[in-house]
């Protein structure tokens, strides 16, 4: 069966090369018993691929069970998947078969596989490796012949690095990976899907179908679609029910796409003076805050090295170490931001642990005279821009009005 026949049989719409590639891999792998891992953003239609694989396999007459791993509580997921014995826990009044036992000779689809707790991941790995599992509260292994297809919208390699997901289970599941592209990468399919949903909702609610003007089609195509096909379907349903006009113009469509920004247009930023400069600087300040943890670890490491060498560190010496570290890192941060950085002392911004004794680290940034001059010049420009109105100048500078007032007095502006 070729890709076009698969689309017709399973009601899959779209002609993008990435979608065709995913379906072609599904068709090729279906006759085997290889485990498949489907990846893609939420709302891309990942649940359709396991059905294709199951129906085109030799297991098509066996059970097909779809399990949303993220919807089952951690305390009961082992019982749901592998079953339990009577009396194995509170509320277990009878013996119960799990999904892996019920789906014997069939296919089980594990959606949101990244949400599985670690103990369940160990049990799943054993099923994939040996074809055996043990019910909760039992010691007797049970054989099962189940084909596992898993799906996730998370990056499992990142989950492995963070310790959330087992590496051995990842490689056992992803024998054949299939990736479904996001809707923003299937622009040629957006209007096609929209028209399909229009017909469906027209029949469902017994009303004339809506249609898009040329401008609305262009807007629909260029939208970023963070919710992918699910979002497109929801918006189509909203417009079909709410709008009395059956021809949808860009002005009407914009009401349903409030964050509309054409994804294929470049982002334009101002290089001159203005509030956008300060907004960009606010984003760059976050880079500095992200460096907080690394800097704290570095301070701790330096002090531990000195203490490990048997050196006695006085309070003054520790202050010098901290100030030296800040003086070393400040020029690099200023190189990123393009102007002097002033970090206000705040417990919520820089919380430094006590490394022994009664010593407490104070995260004040020492600035040279040249930095103060540049800071003074920046404040003067902000005040001139807003004609002396401290409230708006402080907002532009990204500091509180009280801090600005103190700086004005300090610099005698």
**DSSP track, 344-378:** ---TTT------STT-----PPP--HHHHHHHHHH
Find the mean pLDDT for residues 196-216: 94
**pLDDT given at position 91:** 81
**pLDDT given at position 339:** 47
pLDDT tens digits for 106-150? 999 999 999 999 999 999 999 999 999 999 999 999 999 999 999
Q: Is the pLDDT of residue 299 over 90?
A: no
Looking at the DSSP assignment, which residues form a beta bridge with residue 37?
A: 150, 177
Whether 284 and 336 have beta carbons less than 8 Å apart is answered as yes
Whether 20 and 186 have beta carbons less than 8 Å apart is answered as no
210: left (phi over 0), alpha (psi -120 to 50) or beta: beta
Domains and CATH numbers, the chain: 3-181 (3.40.50.300), 184-254 (1.10.8.60), 275-411 (no CATH)
What is the three-class DSSP state of 136?
Answer: strand
Find the mean pLDDT for residues 367-379: 66
Share of the chain above pLDDT 70, in %: 73
Find the mean pLDDT for residues 222-244: 95
DSSP string, 11-65: T-----HHHHHHHHHHHHHTTS---EEEE--TTS-TTHHHHHHHHTSTTTTS-EE
* Pairwise CA distance, residues 78 & 99, whole Å: 10
**pLDDT given at position 315:** 59
Confidence of residue 347 (pLDDT cuts 50, 70, 90): very low
**pLDDT given at position 275:** 41
Q: Is the pLDDT of residue 380 over 80?
A: yes
CA nearest 229: which of 42, 99, 20? 42
* Pairwise CA distance, residues 121 & 322, whole Å: 44
40: left (phi over 0), alpha (psi -120 to 50) or beta: left
pLDDT top residue among 63 and 1: 63
Whether 152 and 39 have beta carbons less than 8 Å apart is answered as yes
pLDDT top residue among 331 and 84: 84
Confidence of residue 155 (pLDDT cuts 50, 70, 90): very high
pLDDT tens digits for 20-42? 999 999 999 999 999 999 999 99
Q: Is the pLDDT of residue 47 over 60?
A: yes
CA nearest 36: which of 53, 60, 14, 16? 53
Q: Is the pLDDT of residue 104 over 50?
A: yes
Question: Which residue has 């979002």 as its token pair?
Answer: 231
Which one-letter DSSP state was computed for residue 224?
-
**pLDDT given at position 160:** 95
**pLDDT given at position 53:** 97
Find the mean pLDDT for residues 357-382: 59
**pLDDT given at position 376:** 79
Range name among 53-57, 141-145, 238-242, 323-327 with the lowest pLDDT average: 323-327
Q: Is the pLDDT of residue 13 over 70?
A: yes
**pLDDT given at position 363:** 43
pLDDT tens digits for 246-268? 999 999 999 999 777 654 444 44
Angle at 183 between CA 180 and CA 184, to 5 degrees: 120
Confidence of residue 191 (pLDDT cuts 50, 70, 90): very high
10 contact partners, CB below 8 Å, separation of at least 6: 48, 51, 52, 55
322 contact partners, CB below 8 Å, separation of at least 6: 299, 361, 362, 363
DSSP string, 70-114: GGS-TTTHHHHHH-B-TTSSTT--S-B--HHHHTTTSEEEEESGG
374 contact partners, CB below 8 Å, separation of at least 6: 339, 340
Mean pLDDT of the chain: 81
* Pairwise CA distance, residues 271 & 141, whole Å: 68
360 contact partners, CB below 8 Å, separation of at least 6: 354
CA nearest 355: which of 306, 291, 292, 289? 306
What is the three-class DSSP state of 206?
Answer: coil
Confidence of residue 194 (pLDDT cuts 50, 70, 90): very high
Residue 35: CB atoms within 10 Å = 16
**pLDDT given at position 140:** 93
Q: Are strands 36-39 and 147-152 parallel, antiparallel or unpaired?
A: parallel
């Amino acid at each position: 069966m070729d890709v076009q026949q698969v689309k017709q049989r399973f009601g899959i719409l779209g002609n993008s090369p990435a979608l065709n590639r995913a379906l072609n891999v599904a068709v090729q792998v279906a006759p085997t018993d290889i485990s498949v891992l489907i990846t893609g953003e939420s709302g891309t239609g990942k649940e359709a691929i396991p059905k294709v694989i199951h129906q085109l396999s030799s297991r098509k007459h066996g059970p097909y069970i779809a399990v949303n791993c993220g919807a089952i509580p951690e305390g009961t997921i082992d019982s749901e998947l592998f079953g339990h014995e009577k009396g194995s826990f509170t509320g277990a009044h009878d013996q119960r078969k799990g999904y892996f036992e019920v789906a014997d000779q069939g296919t089980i689809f594990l959606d949101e596989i990244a949400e599985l707790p670690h103990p369940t991941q160990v049990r799943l790995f054993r099923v994939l490796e040996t074809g055996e599992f043990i019910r909760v509260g039992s010691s007797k292994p049970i054989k099962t012949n189940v084909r596992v297809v898993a799906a996730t919208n998370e990056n499992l390699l990142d989950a492995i690095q963070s310790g959330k997901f087992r590496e051995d289970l990842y490689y056992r599941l992803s024998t054949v990976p299939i990736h479904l592209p996001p809707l923003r990468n299937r622009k040629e399919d957006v209007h096609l899907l929209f028209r399909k949903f229009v017909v469906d909702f027209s029949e469902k609610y017994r009303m004339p179908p809506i249609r898009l003007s040329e401008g609305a089609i262009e807007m629909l195509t260029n939208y970023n679609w963070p919710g992918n096909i699910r979002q497109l379907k929801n918006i189509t349903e909203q417009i079909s029910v709410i709008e009395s006009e059956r021809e949808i113009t860009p002005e009407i469509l914009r009401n349903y796409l409030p964050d509309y920004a054409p994804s294929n247009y470049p982002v334009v930023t101002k290089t001159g003076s203005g509030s956008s400069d300060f907004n960009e600087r606010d984003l760059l300040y976050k880079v500095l805050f992200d460096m907080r943890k690394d800097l704290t670890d570095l301070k701790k490491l330096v002090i531990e090295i000195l203490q490990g060498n048997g050196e006695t560190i006085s309070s003054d010496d520790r202050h010098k170490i901290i100030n030296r570290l800040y003086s070393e890192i400040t020029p690099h941060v200023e190189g990123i931001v393009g102007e002097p950085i002033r970090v206000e002392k705040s417990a919520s911004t820089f919380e430094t642990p006590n490394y022994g004794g009664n010593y407490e680290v104070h995260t004040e940034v020492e600035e040279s005279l040249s930095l103060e001059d540049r800071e003074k010049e920046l404040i003067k420009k902000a005040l001139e821009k807003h004609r002396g109105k401290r409230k708006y100048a402080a907002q532009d500078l990204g500091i509180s009005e009280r801090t600005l007032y103190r700086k004005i007095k300090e610099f005698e502006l």
